[in-house]
């Protein structure tokens, strides 16, 4: 069976849509917490087909979007230093920091910045540039962090002295807790991230159901996956059940990937972290364990997170919390476009503002 | 050629320049206009003339399916053809970096000669400059093309009309993905190749046989999505495109999915978009498919007046296989690989 096409099958999807329409008997406001879901929902043209009572809001699911202004300021400061080469995934290049500065503008002003596709590429860069320190910008969720941790272990084994990581990694479950603890939170169910869950499994989400009586479905990224997940949510809500269900069993095992987690927690440990628009969330970030502190760019480069004023007018924080649809922001598509983004949600291809701008036809 | 690498002398206008011209350019571009060795060429063209220019810089210089030389010929030939013209003559300016291996230059000039013959054009005048190391990246090429307009009226971006259909001459994204995947650091295996190809003959047949092409455009930088948006805006129409009808190679689709790229925003170098009245669609499709570089041609959508469906004037609306729709918007800057 060709899995890559089976879950896109229009006949299967139309059948699921019919069932969803038939079974939806109450409003369902669902939030996805993965940028890939955001894009998939728009790209497949699913949004205009959903029953009117099923409302889609985007959550803090794009790692670029939740990166705090202070963190952006820190890596921009680092980029300007002599003998530092920044290695980064491409999405960060255009994210504006204080004063509108970006990695792109820093690069144009002479900073050495390399876009890499994998943290391992940053390691090769360090090996070929022994006179400089290569700092990999560690921004991402549980999906990508184990690979960064494994790269650090490799650097350790190879005795590489000029490779460091700036760890602004974040963890998804604590962010869900923070959202749900907000009394204004109006989310009926979560579409849980398929990629992150390949590492985490389903257990770390159980508190969502147990403590907050909110159902969640771990789902894949094809239209049939998303539709089946919505159907499961509607059915759970109707029966008054609160559970975490795994729709994406072809990729996600209930126990996730224990080996990847153990590598991640050998190199990093949880610590409080700053989220854009949300603020500090306890134990929601990852910092270096003592055994690997020689790779910690924060410590080795003596960086600190400074207070950075909020960007005036930018409502990315409300968008990330699902309190506002992107096109209700006064800056949307006017002062803030993908070419001249004000906030990170407009920069990253997986940001909800960028997805709205790119895909939403508007009224 | 005896020298191993290119010296500044070769751009001096002296004997070294003469040797380069005689032993390399005359050999591969041979035609009486060029070998007359005058300051310029005297051309024989009747009727209105289309003219287009483009400069070529690409890294890597050589890639599966072509090189900077084929691009420099095909790119300009195609731009002239898209004006509803038969490209006839090219000029060619080289800016070369000191120290460029002569073998590299000869490879590029050889493929330019072949590409020109295949395209039915003559390279009739040229210029060569050699600049100190570091002032350019190996080789930059500028070509300007001229050709006689054969379409009456000539196609233009503002001529899409309600009821027209939109065709593409083949698969989308091949060139862009090839370049990206062969750039330094992107060492994953792919079997994609650039589609660099001349479209002049296809345009000639379409023009003479259908007699009524409204818009012709080659979706190069920015890809299909960007080019369609430009035409929709120029014409003040809404374009409706059916996603499942857009030809994309499976290898390109999966490569793009891996890298977080969208093939509809990737450059093509041997494909065209043709917009013409619906009653000519089948004929145009058959012509494309019979032509050398149009085997995968397809009808992908239609032109609507604003208000006749979802979308506003100047928008491109994509119908998804699910029966939903979404905007197919312009690209803002280059596509960048994503985090997850």
For the stretch A93-149, pLDDT in tens is 988 888 889 999 999 999 999 999 889 999 999 999 999 999 999 999 999 999 999
Question: ipTM for the complex?
Answer: 0.76
Query: What are A337's two structure tokens?
Result: 């476009």
pLDDT: which is higher, B77 or B2: B77
pLDDT above 70 as % of chain B: 94
What lies within 8 Å, CB to CB, of B230 at 6+ separation is B157, B217
* Cα dist from B42 to A335, B89, B144, whole Å: 52, 11, 15
Query: What are B81's two structure tokens?
Result: 């053809």
Helical H segments across B137-280, by residue range: 174-182, 200-210, 223-235, 250-259
Provide mean pLDDT across the span B152-171: 97
Residue by residue, DSSP assigns B291-314 as STT-TT-EEEEEEE-TTSSSS-TT
In chain B, what residues touch A145 (CB-CB under 8 Å)? none
> A335 phi and psi, to 5 degrees?
-75, -20
Q: Are B340 and B333 in contact (CB under 8 A)?
A: no
Distance CA A246, CA A257 (A): 15
Asked whether the predicted pLDDT for residue B276 surpasses 80, the reply is: yes
User: Scanning every residue of chain A, which has its alpha carbon at the shortest distance from the alpha carbon of B312?
Assistant: A361
Q: CA of A337 to nearest chain B CA: how many angstroms apart?
A: 9
pLDDT: which is higher, B232 or A92: B232
* DSSP character at residue B159: -
Asked whether the predicted pLDDT for residue B162 surpasses 70, the reply is: yes
* Cα dist from B302 to B161, B163, B239, whole Å: 9, 7, 6
Q: Are A258 and A53 in contact (CB under 8 A)?
A: no
**Cross-strand bridge partners of residue A31:** A57, A190
Which band of pLDDT confidence, cut at 50, 70 and 90, is reported for residue B336? low
CB contact under 8 A, B323 and A35: no
Report residue A40 CA to chain centroid gap: 14
For the packed helices B68-81 and B200-210, what is the interaxial angle rounded to 10 degrees?
20
Q: CA of A14 to nearest chain B CA: how many angstroms apart?
A: 7
Which band of pLDDT confidence, cut at 50, 70 and 90, is reported for residue A306? very high
Burial of A281 per CB tally in 10 Å (0-12, 13-18, 19+): buried
Residue pointed to by tokens 């013209």:
B85
Q: CA of B303 to nearest chain A CA: how many angstroms apart?
A: 17
pLDDT number for residue B15: 80
Distance CA A131, CA A126 (A): 9
Provide mean pLDDT across the span B30-45: 90
For the packed helices B68-81 and B102-119, what is the interaxial angle rounded to 10 degrees?
30
Query: What are A196's two structure tokens?
Result: 């992150």
User: Scanning every residue of chain A, which has its alpha carbon at the shortest distance from the alpha carbon of B338?
Assistant: A91
Domain annotation for chain B: domains and CATH numbers:
8-149 (3.30.1330.10), 164-327 (3.90.650.10)
Query: B15 touching A, CB under 8 A?
Result: no
A243: closest CA among A268, A220, A264, A215?
A215
Distance CA A142, CA A77 (A): 26
Query: B261 touching A, CB under 8 A?
Result: no
Distance CA A41, CA A36 (A): 9
For the packed helices B250-259 and B174-182, what is the interaxial angle rounded to 10 degrees?
50
Asked whether the predicted pLDDT for residue B340 surpasses 60, the reply is: no
Interstrand relation of A28-32 and A189-193 (parallel, antiparallel or unpaired): parallel
pLDDT number for residue B1: 45
A297: closest CA among A108, A138, A191?
A138
Provide mean pLDDT across the span A234-242: 93
Distance CA A358, CA B212 (A): 33
> A291 phi and psi, to 5 degrees?
-65, -25
Q: Which of B259, B322, B331 has the most A C-beta neighbours within 10 Å, making it the best mutation to test the interface with A?
A: B322
Asked whether the predicted pLDDT for residue A1 surpasses 50, the reply is: no
Asked whether the predicted pLDDT for residue B115 surpasses 70, the reply is: yes
Q: Which pTM was predicted?
A: 0.85
* Cα dist from B41 to B27, B36, B74, whole Å: 18, 8, 21
Query: What are A260's two structure tokens?
Result: 């990847």
Query: What are B82's two structure tokens?
Result: 């898209």
* Cα dist from B25 to B7, B69, B112, B125, whole Å: 17, 13, 10, 10
Provide mean pLDDT across the span A12-28: 95
pLDDT: which is higher, A128 or B180: A128
Distance CA A353, CA A108 (A): 26
Distance CA A58, CA A348 (A): 14
Query: What are A19's two structure tokens?
Result: 């069932």
Q: Mean pLDDT score of chain A, rounded to an integer?
A: 93
Provide mean pLDDT across the span A187-211: 96
Asked whether the predicted pLDDT for residue B191 surpasses 90, the reply is: no
Provide mean pLDDT across the span B198-211: 97
**CA angle, A141 then A236 then A4, to 5°:** 50
pLDDT number for residue A312: 83
Q: Which of A6, A36, A41, A48 has the most B C-beta neighbours within 10 Å, making it the best mutation to test the interface with B?
A: A48
Interstrand relation of B273-277 and B215-217 (parallel, antiparallel or unpaired): antiparallel
pLDDT number for residue B14: 77
* Cα dist from B50 to A59, B86, B145, B147, B273, whole Å: 52, 9, 8, 5, 19
Query: B184 touching A, CB under 8 A?
Result: no
Q: Out of A46, A144, A357, name the one closest to residue B329 (CB).
A: A357
Which band of pLDDT confidence, cut at 50, 70 and 90, is reported for residue A8? confident
pLDDT number for residue B81: 98
User: Scanning every residue of chain B, which has its alpha carbon at the shortest distance from the alpha carbon of A125?
Assistant: B185
Using DSSP, state whether B5 is helix, strand or coil: strand
Distance CA A231, CA A208 (A): 19
* DSSP character at residue B59: S
Q: Mean pLDDT score of chain B, rounded to an integer?
A: 92
Provide mean pLDDT across the span B293-313: 96
Cα atoms found within 13 Å of the Cα of residue A240, Cβ hemisphere only:
0
Residue pointed to by tokens 């065709």:
B167
Asked whether the predicted pLDDT for residue B333 surpasses 70, the reply is: no
pLDDT number for residue B335: 67
Residue by residue, DSSP assigns A276-300 as TTTEEEEEEEEEE-GGGGGGBHHHH
Asked whether the predicted pLDDT for residue A245 surpasses 80, the reply is: yes
pLDDT: which is higher, B113 or B251: B113
**CA angle, A37 then A90 then A40, to 5°:** 15
pLDDT number for residue B188: 57
Helical H segments across A44-93, by residue range: 69-79
Asked whether the predicted pLDDT for residue A185 surpasses 70, the reply is: yes
Query: B311 touching A, CB under 8 A?
Result: yes
Query: What are A161's two structure tokens?
Result: 């002295």
What lies within 8 Å, CB to CB, of A153 at 6+ separation is A263, A266, A267
Residue by residue, DSSP assigns A119-185 as HHHHHHHHHH-TTSEEEEEE---TTTHHHHHHHHHHHHHHT-SSEEEEE--B-HHHHHHHHHHSTT-
């Amino acid at each position: 069976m060709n899995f890559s096409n089976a879950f896109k099958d229009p006949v299967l999807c139309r059948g699921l849509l019919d069932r969803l329409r038939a079974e939806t008997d109450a409003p369902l406001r669902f939030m996805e917490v993965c940028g890939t879901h955001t894009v998939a929902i728009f790209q497949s043209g699913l949004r205009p087909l959903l029953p009117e009572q099923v409302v889609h809001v985007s959550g803090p699911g794009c790692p670029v979007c939740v990166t705090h202004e202070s963190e952006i300021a820190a890596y921009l400061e680092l980029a300007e230093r002599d003998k530092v080469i920044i290695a980064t995934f491409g999405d960060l290049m255009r994210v504006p920091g204080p004063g509108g500065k970006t990695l792109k503008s820093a690069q144009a002003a002479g900073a050495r910045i390399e876009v890499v596709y994998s943290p391992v590429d940053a390691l090769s860069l360090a090996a070929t540039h022994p006179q400089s320190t290569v700092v990999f910008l560690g921004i991402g969720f549980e999906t990508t962090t184990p690979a960064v941790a494994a790269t650090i272990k490799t650097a350790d084994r190879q005795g590489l002295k000029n490779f460091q990581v700036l760890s602004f990694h974040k963890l998804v479950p604590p962010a869900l807790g923070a959202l749900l603890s907000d009394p204004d939170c109006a989310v009926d169910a979560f579409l849980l991230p398929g990629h992150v869950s390949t590492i985490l499994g389903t257990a770390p989400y159980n508190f969502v159901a147990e403590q907050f009586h909110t159902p969640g479905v771990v789902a894949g990224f094809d239209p049939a996956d998303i539709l089946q997940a919505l159907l499961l949510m509607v059915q759970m809500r109707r029966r008054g059940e609160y559970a975490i269900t795994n729709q994406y069993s072809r990729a996600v095992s209930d126990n996730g990937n224990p080996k990847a987690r153990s590598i991640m927690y050998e190199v990093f440990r949880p610590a409080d972290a700053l989220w854009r628009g949300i603020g500090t969330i306890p134990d929601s970030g990852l910092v270096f364990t003592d055994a690997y502190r020689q790779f910690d760019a924060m410590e080795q480069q003596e960086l600190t997170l400074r207070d950075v004023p909020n960007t005036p007018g930018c409502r990315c924080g409300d968008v990330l919390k699902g309190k506002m649809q992107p096109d209700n922001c006064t800056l949307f598509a006017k002062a803030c476009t993908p070419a001249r983004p004000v906030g990170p949600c407009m920069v990253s291809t997986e940001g909800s503002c960028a997805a709205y701008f790119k895909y939403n036809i508007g009224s | 050629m005896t020298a191993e690498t290119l010296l500044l002398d070769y751009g001096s206008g002296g004997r070294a320049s003469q040797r380069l011209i005689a032993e390399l350019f005359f050999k591969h571009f041979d035609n009486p206009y060029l070998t007359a060795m005058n300051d310029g060429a005297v051309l024989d063209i009747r009727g209105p003339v289309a003219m287009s220019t483009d400069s070529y810089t690409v890294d890597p210089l050589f890639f599966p399916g072509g090189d900077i030389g084929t691009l420099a010929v095909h790119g300009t030939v195609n731009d002239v053809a898209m004006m509803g013209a038969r490209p006839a003559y090219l000029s060619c300016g080289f800016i070369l970096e000191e120290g460029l291996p002569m073998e590299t230059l000869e490879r590029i000039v050889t493929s330019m000669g072949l590409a020109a013959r295949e395209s039915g054009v003559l390279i009739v005048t040229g210029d060569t400059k050699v600049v100190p190391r570091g002032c350019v990246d190996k080789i930059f090429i500028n070509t300007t093309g001229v050709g006689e307009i054969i379409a009456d009226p000539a196609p233009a971006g503002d001529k899409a009309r309600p009821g027209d259909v939109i065709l593409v001459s083949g698969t989308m994204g091949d060139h862009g993905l090839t370049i990206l995947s062969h750039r330094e650091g992107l060492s994953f295996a792919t079997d994609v190749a650039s589609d660099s190809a001349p479209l002049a003959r296809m345009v000639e047949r379409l023009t003479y046989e259908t007699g009524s092409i409204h818009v012709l455009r080659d979706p190069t930088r920015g890809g299909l999505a960007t080019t369609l948006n430009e035409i929709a805006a120029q014409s003040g129409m809404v374009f409706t495109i059916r996603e499942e009808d857009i030809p994309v190679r499976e290898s390109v689709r999966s490569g793009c999915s891996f890298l977080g790229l969208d093939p509809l925003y990737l450059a093509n170098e041997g494909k065209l978009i043709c917009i013409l009245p619906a009653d000519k669609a089948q004929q145009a499709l058959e012509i494309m498919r019979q032509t050398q570089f149009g085997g995968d041609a397809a009808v992908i959508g239609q032109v609507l007046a604003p208000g006749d469906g979802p979308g506003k004037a100047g928008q491109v609306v994509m119908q998804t296989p699910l029966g939903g729709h979404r905007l197919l918007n312009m690209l803002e800057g280059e596509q960048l690989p994503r985090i997850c």
